[in-house]
Amino acid sequence: MPRGIGQLTSLENLSAFMVAKDNGVSKHSGRLGELRDLNNLRDVLRIMNLCSCPNLTSTPLIPSVQHLVLKNASKKSLKDILKMKISVHPFLFFDFPSQLKILQIENIEDLEFLPEELLTNLTSLQQLYIRYCPRITKVSSAFRHLTSLEHLVILACEELDLSDSEDHSDMRWQYLRRLRVLQLVNLNKLASIPKGLQHVPTLRKLTIQNCPNLISLLEWMGSLTALWIEECPQLLERCKSNICVDWPKIAHIPNISIDDRWIQVNGCYKL
């Protein structure tokens, strides 16, 4: 990444921005403030190494970016970003643009829950990816703002259990009025599919992969047109054929793949 990139005020495409240690400048990275005048940036922007800014106090608004990746950050840097939303300086605050379509949150090792404030303005968000956040335990509280979300991927969040709790978290899924695709991958603590998904009649495709403690499916799966189950040994024994105990729950789904083998295609049983 060239030095002085902040002077390229007509720049429209910048696929990745590496934040330098202590928000300084190096050969391959720069200060976060250099993005301040790049108001023509569009499409994808990856902001990496936010954790290199332990004393971060401001970061710029990027109004035209539609795909934002926050990678290798820390819980503190995310909290600092949230505080910037109320900064008094008009050019020194961060607010996710309302036209953002895709948001990826990756490699935030100390993040324990998805801050609701992070998603408040994202009413146009269509895709959300939460990956490699090993301590995160809660995400559903932020769903009520994601009324346009169509695609949700949660991957490698070892402590996350989406099972519904006593605080009526199942009802928060109802705000995902346009959700069509859900992928749950490498969730070691996932014990059951959230009952709240019964309030998402638009859901069409569900992928469940490498969730070793997932025991059984639920009755709500009437809207699905495709189901993929891989590397879920306990669940496999309950739905791998039409004589298994959970088969009646999924028999109506036209397309079913289990451990990379299609057992039902276009409503026709293949085994």
3-state secondary structure 130-146: EECCCCCCECHHHHHHC
Residue 39 covered by a domain? no
What string of pLDDT tens digits covers the 271 residues of the chain?
A: 445 555 555 445 555 555 555 544 554 444 555 555 555 555 555 565 555 444 444 444 455 667 777 777 776 666 555 444 433 333 333 445 567 888 888 888 888 888 777 777 788 899 999 999 999 988 877 788 899 999 999 999 999 988 765 455 667 888 999 999 999 999 999 988 888 888 899 999 999 999 999 988 888 788 899 999 999 999 999 998 989 999 999 999 999 999 999 999 999 998 7
Residue 227 covered by a domain? yes
* Token pair for 231: 């590397």
φ/ψ (deg, to 5) at 68: -120, 130
Residue 127 covered by a domain? yes
> What is the per-residue pLDDT for 92?
34
Q: Using CA atoms, how far apart are residues 151 and 104, in angstroms rounded to an integer?
A: 12
- Could you give the count of Cα atoms lying within 13 Å of 73 in the half-sphere of its Cβ? 22
Q: Taking Cα atoms as reference points, which of 139, 91, 92 lies closest to residue 119?
A: 139
Residue 255 covered by a domain? yes
CATH number at residue 137: 3.80.10.10
Residue 210 covered by a domain? yes
Contacts of 18 (CB under 8 A, 6+ apart): 1, 28, 29, 30, 48, 49
Q: Which domain holds residue 91?
A: 48-269
**Element housing 153 (H / E):** strand 151-155
Contacts of 237 (CB under 8 A, 6+ apart): 244
Contact call for residues 18 and 49 (beta carbons, < 8 A): yes
Q: What is the pTM of this model?
A: 0.78
Which residues, listed in sequence order, are joined to residue 137 by a DSSP beta bridge? none
Helix and strand counts by DSSP (H, E) for the chain: 3, 12
> What is the per-residue pLDDT for 28?
45
The number of folded domains in the chain is 1
Residue 14 covered by a domain? no
* Token pair for 202: 């638009």
Residue 9 covered by a domain? no
> What is the per-residue pLDDT for 57?
43
Would you call 104 helix, strand, or coil by DSSP?
strand
Residue entry with tokens 């199942």: 170
Residue 199 covered by a domain? yes
> What is the per-residue pLDDT for 172?
81
